[in-house]
Structures are given as C-alpha cells and as structure tokens.
Amino acid sequence: MLKPYHTEITTRALKAYFSPRALHTILAANLHQDRLRGQFGHNEYHFDANAFEASYAYMDEQHEIVGDTLHQGDDPTPAWQALGRLTHTAQDFYAHSNYLRLWADSHPAGELPEPAQVGTLLPEFLHHPQLQSGNVYLWDWVSFIPGFYSLAYRRAPKDSHTHMNLDHPGRGPLFPYAIEAAIKRTIYEYEQIVGRLTPEEQSIFNDRRRLTADGG
C-alpha cells in the first residue's frame, strides 16, 4: 500500500478509539515500516514473498509488546507504536497477497458484493492452496524509478510484487476491496487487543479520559 492509503485505512479504522496524539503515534509507526530499511530484507513487515508464517509471527510479537507495555502500566507509547507496526503488516496482506483475487474468483462474474461487504478473515481463502504473495525481484525495484515502470512491468515475472499488488487505485477494481478489507482487519486487530485488557489498561491505551458519572 502507498502511504496515503495506509493513512486513510488506519485513520478510518482507529480514529474513534484513540486520542489525536495516540493516533498520531500509531500512524507514524505504521508508515515508518515503508522506510527504505524497512523494505530490504523485511518481507515479514509487508506479507511479501510468501512470508506468511514470518508475517504472522511478527504480528504476534507486536501484540505481545502492546500487552506487556499496558500490563506494566508504563507510558503507552511503545504500545501505540507496536499497534502501528502490526496494523501495517495486516493491511499489506490484502494488497500484497492474492487473497482478494481468490475471494473475487469464488463469485459468479459480475456478482461481487460491495467493497464494504468483503470478508477479511475467511478461512477458505486464508488457507487456500493457491494463496500466495508477490515476490520482490530486481524488476520490482526498477519499477519505482521514474520512467521505468512500463519496462519493469513487461519484464517482471507474473508472481512479482509489480504484477500482484493492490497498492493504489491504478491497480484496478479490486483496490477498493483492499481498502475496506484492511480497515476491517485493523479494527479486528484492535479488538483482539482490548479484549485482553482491564478497563484501566484500555483507558490508558485509548488515551481518552473517561467521563465520570457526575460529568467531572
């Protein structure tokens, strides 16, 4: 996903739950995953190159950081940052794997539901024998050089990131489904976290002062 879409997805999914400063920290950590050093050698940050197991393990690690930070009652900043990192990975799943194409192919032609109806965690596609994600070849890097996209697209293999991604609207009619799936998945990951927190921990995580009964 390109940065404006990670921003849109994360904001639409989490804005209602967090204070502006918490959301700002979550977003910064989410976008930081796409820094150059986060791209080389970190398939697990982005569900690239069929790194499914490594990506799920990475998300689990970040979930643990969120829980440990909040259980210790420390400054919640590391929890917000871990949430940003793990939601980046979760969001990239829908843009970098063929999950949504497998889902779309299971519908009769012309009978796809609206994007908001997309199923995000359907076991038959999460564990589909043909589930794969784009490999990152030299041509994928060349595609980012201004003026070289067409050449790179022609040369890159069919299982490359260049051919498989749903990173931006130019990638066709499934792109809005990638956005909606990523929003739902981000909310799901958030709900997994708060389901394990005490009310007090959740209050610190959300960084919203709870109103008391007398309105004070």
Query: Nearest distance from residue 79's CB to Zn ion, in Å?
Result: 21
Among 13, 30, 43, 46, which residue interacts with Zn ion (rule: CB under 5 A)?
Answer: 46
Which residues within the stretch 91-110 sit at the binding site for Zn ion (CB under 5 A)? 92
Identity of residue 216: G
| Residue nearest to Zn ion as judged by C-beta position | 46
Which residues within the stretch 9-38 sit at the binding site for Zn ion (CB under 5 A)? 34
Cβ proximity to Zn ion, 34 vs 207, nearer residue: 34
Q: Answer whether 42's CB lies under 8 Å from 34's CB.
A: no
Query: Nearest distance from residue 163's CB to Zn ion, in Å?
Result: 17
Query: Nearest distance from residue 115's CB to Zn ion, in Å?
Result: 20
Cβ proximity to Zn ion, 25 vs 91, nearer residue: 91
- Binding-site residue total for Zn ion (CB under 5 A)? 3
Distance CA 184, CA 120 (A): 7
Nearest to 95 by CA among 34, 146, 35, 139: 34
Query: Nearest distance from residue 23's CB to Zn ion, in Å?
Result: 19
Cβ proximity to Zn ion, 76 vs 84, nearer residue: 84
Which one of 88-96, 98-106, 165-173, 199-207 is the stretch in contact with Zn ion (CB under 5 A)? Answer: 88-96
Residues 6+ apart with CB under 8 A from 176: 115, 169
Query: Nearest distance from residue 41's CB to Zn ion, in Å?
Result: 13
Query: Nearest distance from residue 118's CB to Zn ion, in Å?
Result: 20
Q: Does 189 bind Zn ion (CB under 5 A)?
A: no
φ and ψ of 9, to 5 deg: -60, -50
Q: Does 48 bind Zn ion (CB under 5 A)?
A: no
Site residues, Zn ion (CB under 5 A): 34, 46, 92
